[in-house]
Amino acid sequence: MVGVRTVLKWFAFYLLVFLFFMFSSGLDFVVHKVLYGYGLRFSYDWASIYWNFYGCIYLVFSISVGLVYWLGSGKSRKDIKVAFGLFLSVYMLFLGGFADILWFVFWNGGLPSGEVVWWWSPWFGVFGFWNSFLQLFLLGLVSVSLVLLWIWILRS
């Protein structure tokens, strides 16, 4: 049986990860929405550098989450799996576009219609087309994959 302390720790962990995604998407909102009101002009020259740093921040955060768990654990084989699962979960949510969904829902007032092409998404570059429906579908696939990963981790 899982204790109340364990449940509270996991709740706090999930809340902090959610807040990280929420506030980083808020920072992205400032860069890609608010600053245009102050004269910022879009350019791939600065945007590509910004997007690379943004991705690196999520990579480092993902590694930190897994590493902090592993350092505080008993370092068993299962602890290594949990640490890797935490790393993979956070980074896959980023790659699955969770931050983009939060950007629109919490900072921009809702997802754009299906006719709006998400040209900034890396998946647009891969497939030549990307919209809100495909982004939600991808995030759903990532979420289902992560649930299956965690079922495997916790059962082994």
Q: What pLDDT is stored for residue 156 in this prediction? A: 85
Q: Please provide the distance, in angstroms rounded to a whole number, between the alpha carbons at the two ends of the chain.
A: 17
Its pTM stands at 0.88
**Residues spanned by the domain of 106:** 4-155
Stated length of the chain = 156
Q: What pLDDT is stored for residue 86 in this prediction? A: 97
Kindly state the percentage of the chain with pLDDT values over 70: 99
Non-local CB neighbours of 7 within 8 Å, separated by 6+ positions: none
Rounded-to-integer distance, Cα 74 and Cα 59, Å? 24
Per-residue pLDDT of the chain (156 residues; tens, 9 = 90+): 678 988 898 899 999 999 999 999 999 999 999 999 999 999 999 999 999 999 999 999 999 999 999 999 999 999 999 999 999 999 999 999 999 999 999 999 999 998 889 998 889 999 999 999 999 999 999 999 999 999 999 998
Q: How many domains does the chain have?
A: 1
DSSP states along the chain = ---HHHHHHHHHHHHHHHHHHHHHHHHHHHHHTGGGGGT----HHHHHHHHHHHHHHHHHHHHHHHHHHHHHS---HHHHHHHHHHHHHHHHHHHTTHHHHHIIIIISSSPPPTTS--TTSHHHHHHS---HHHHHHHHHHHHHHHHHHHHHHHH-
